[in-house]
Structure 1
Amino acid sequence: METRIHGLRTLAPLSFRRFAGAIADVWSVRGERNGGGFYIAPDPRIVIFLGDTSPPLALRTGADRTEHRGIQALYVPEGVPLWSRIEAGHEKTHLDFHLQSGGLRQRLAAANLRPDLSRPRLLGPCPTLTGLAQMAADEVRAPRRGDMLIDALFTATLAEIFAPPPQPAPPTGALAQERFAAVEGYLRANLTRHVPVAELARVAGLSESRFAYAFKQLRSETPQRWQARVRLEAARAMLEDPTRALADVAYATGFADQAHLSRAFRAAHGMPPSVWRRQVSGTNPGGTVQDNR
């Protein structure tokens, strides 16, 4: 990594946190007019400026010679240079996620998202994104919930940055296939929590009642049953990794706890997930099978 800065004074010690193939850090500085810097790294990076307004910065990335202003968050791919120029003295705090390229692609692919990660992304003010960043920054400074909370906030941040925005629904009120794809992508980006039908309907651009009717016409099942099936299928795919704890799989797929996952899995497959995992992996427990619910 190469960094060159000038006209910046640190206001507080750097806070950082390692988790699941990423590093989150929080940096508070005083920037002087005409200060700024240069940054380039072999790994991708997400930067989110905390607060209600974007800082008075001019930013440019890569070969783009245009300076961009009003930026609240940005994604910088690996090997892409970033220049910043301070246009007015100010104090700012920003949250950075330093990522591993392979891990980022894997996370996005698991949510059925395959964006062009070679292209920088510069985003204007987004209250949802800055709210997530503030919660993540608080967790970096004073950890309260282990890695589960910071990892969930990071996943939600990726959804805000990379998930495509909802498109207007067809005028007939029907749920076209491309609208269903947007709904599915949104659900997979939010697997760690139950998504209400009303929220899925907003993604599709339909009222809740119209969405429920159109969904069943298209898929021959209710949105609730479909969501439960998608979560269970995602859990089953994660269970193929023998090193992944059942509690972690349950959390990552929106089940209340490990016991909730075990009950749902047994109802669908006729056996608890611990037994299914051993059968899939081909291992022989050498005796009575223990139900690790």
Structure 2
Amino acid sequence: MSFRPDVTSFLSGIRPAAPLVCGFWHGAVADLWRVEVGRDGHGAYTARDPRFVVVLDEGESPLRLSGPGFDIAAPVRVAYVPAGLAVRSRFSRGGHLTHLDLHFDAASLHHRLDAAGLDAAALMARPIALPEAPDVAAIARLLAGELDGGAGSALVQDSLGTALAGKVLAGAGRAVPLPARGGLTPRQLARVDALMLSQMRRRLPVSEMAASVGLSESRFAHAFRESRGQSPHRALQTLRVASAQRLLRDPARSIADIAAEVGFADQAHLTRAFGAVIGQTPGAWRRAQHRQGAQQDRTIPDSFDQDRGDAAR
């Protein structure tokens, strides 16, 4: 398998109810999760590549997402999360939850959309949350059935995965209005996101971000906040924290070295940013991950935790 999803996550009160079921084909990975959610179950994740999430259970979806473009009060049946976007999850009720996660290599998804004559950069930059989407859920259930059978065709899985992505992105793209007055266009947001992802390990001034989309620094800062609900500096810090989380999984790495590698001036700066985004210090988060790994059945990875999911594959 050439494409491997890279998701950094923090989980609390979410436990597996059955082994993870996976499907792989060119430029995509599908995961079928069955989990039990506790009374205060919640999580946070940032992914390197674009991701679709579909809740398969009947009735109103208990999933709630918060982050740029998401409203924590609204139920989410189907979500599209752009690459690099930090998202938090909560649930309106506990109990059993079945959901399908569909990860695409960003270049592969861009090619598929572009081949269909769509504005791939604009569509891939916009987060989407749908409270109900019967057509998308129907495709997701067909794909889940292919995965569950264990002998599904890669051709069928690829076709269903592409159909699901097309329904969500192209359909929502027609329905969602243009950015709010004063905000950045989807193409501009995609350009800034790409710059942040590629340059987050060095000092990246707002003036350089603004220049990448042809705006003055003050106008860019205002437009970015209008579009994302946070400052460019805070968005960059969130990406750096996500990168630090991946490195913290290696017990041999010192927190000071990790801080320097992901672009923080020193360990104290990383600790402050990490606490603001994750709610814990880097050391406390690392210890919690170690305890969780020691207690967990290695054959059944935690929901949403693709780092462990890859190991199980």
Q: Give the whole-Å Cα distance in 2 for the aligned partners of 1:19 and 1:148.
A: 8
User: What CA deviation, in whole Å up to 9, does each residue of 1:167-189 have, x standing for no partner?
Assistant: 8xxxxxxxxxxxxxxxxxxxxxx
Q: Does 1:148 align with 2:155?
A: yes
Residue ranges of structure 2 left out of the alignment (5+ in a row) = 1-6, 175-313
129 and 26 in structure 1: CA distance in 2 versus 1, 3 angstrom threshold: same
Does the alignment pair 1:127 with 2:139?
no
Name the SS for the 1:17 alignment partner. strand
How far has the Cα of 1:147 moved from its partner? Answer: 0.8
Describe the superposition over 1:27-73 as per-residue Cα deviations: whole angstroms up to 9, x where unpaired.
001111221100101111110010333422321123x5841422101
Equivalent of 2:117 in 95, 112, 119: 112
Quote the residue 2:261 is aligned against.
none
Query: 1:1-293 counterparts in 2 under 5 A?
Result: 1-62=7-68, 66-114=71-119, 115-164=122-171
CA contact (8 A) 1:19 1:151 kept: yes
User: Matched residue of 2:123: which SS?
Assistant: coil
CA distance in 2 between partners of 1:65 and 1:161 (Å) = 15
Report the CA distance shift for 1:82/1:54 in structure 2 as closer, same or farther (over 3 A).
farther
| Distance change in 2, residues 1:37/1:130 (3 Å) | same
Give the Cα separation in 2 of the matches to 1:143 and 1:30.
Answer: 23
Number of equivalences:
166
Shift of residue 146, structure 1, vs aligned partner:
1.9
Structure number with greater Rg is 1
Q: Secondary structure at the match of 1:94?
A: strand
Question: 2:136 & 2:31 partners in 1: Cα distance?
Answer: 16
Q: Judging changes above 3 Å, is the alpha-carbon distance between structure 1 residues 105 and 83 closer, same or farther for their aligned structure 2 residues?
A: same
Cα distance 1:160–1:77, how it changes in 2: closer, same or farther (>3 A)? same
- RMSD (Å) for aligned C-alpha atoms: 2.0
For residue 159 of structure 1, report the CA deviation from its aligned partner.
2.0
The alpha-carbon distance between structure 1 residues 145 and 89, as it changes in their structure 2 partners (threshold 3 A), is: closer
Q: 1:128 to 1:44 in 2, by over 3 A?
A: same
Q: Is the 8 A contact 1:7 1:31 kept in 2?
A: yes
2:167 aligned partner, one-letter code? E
- The more displaced of 91-100 and 113-122 is 113-122
Task: Structure 1 unaligned segments of length 5 or more: list them.
Answer: 168-293
If each structure's helix is expressed as a fraction of its own residues, which one has the higher value?
Answer: 2
Is this contact kept in 2: 1:53–1:72, CA < 8 A? Answer: no
Question: Aligned equivalents of 2:135 and 2:8: distance in 1?
Answer: 31
TM-score by length of 2: 0.50
The 3-state SS of whatever aligns with 1:38 is strand
Aligned AA for 1:146? Answer: S
Greater RCO, CA 8 A, separation 6+: 2
For 1:74 and 1:52, the matched residues in 2 are separated by: 16
Question: Cα distance, 1:105 vs. partner?
Answer: 0.7
Instruction: Please name the residue that 2:288 is paired with.
Output: none
Given that 1:55 and 1:71 are in contact with CA atoms closer than 8 Å, whether structure 2 keeps it comes out as: yes
Take 1:109 and 1:140, find their aligned partners in 2: how far apart are those partners? 27
Amino acid at match of 2:94: G
CA distance in 2, matches of 1:145, 1:35: 32
Aligned-residue identity in percent: 33
Indicate if the aligned counterparts of 1:43 and 1:98 stay in contact, CA closer than 8 A.
yes
CA contact (8 A) 2:123 2:170 kept: no
Give the AA of the match of 2:48: P
1:289 aligned residue: none
Q: Distance in 2 between matches of 1:166 and 1:35?
A: 31
Alignment partners' CA distance in 2, 1:60 and 1:23: 24
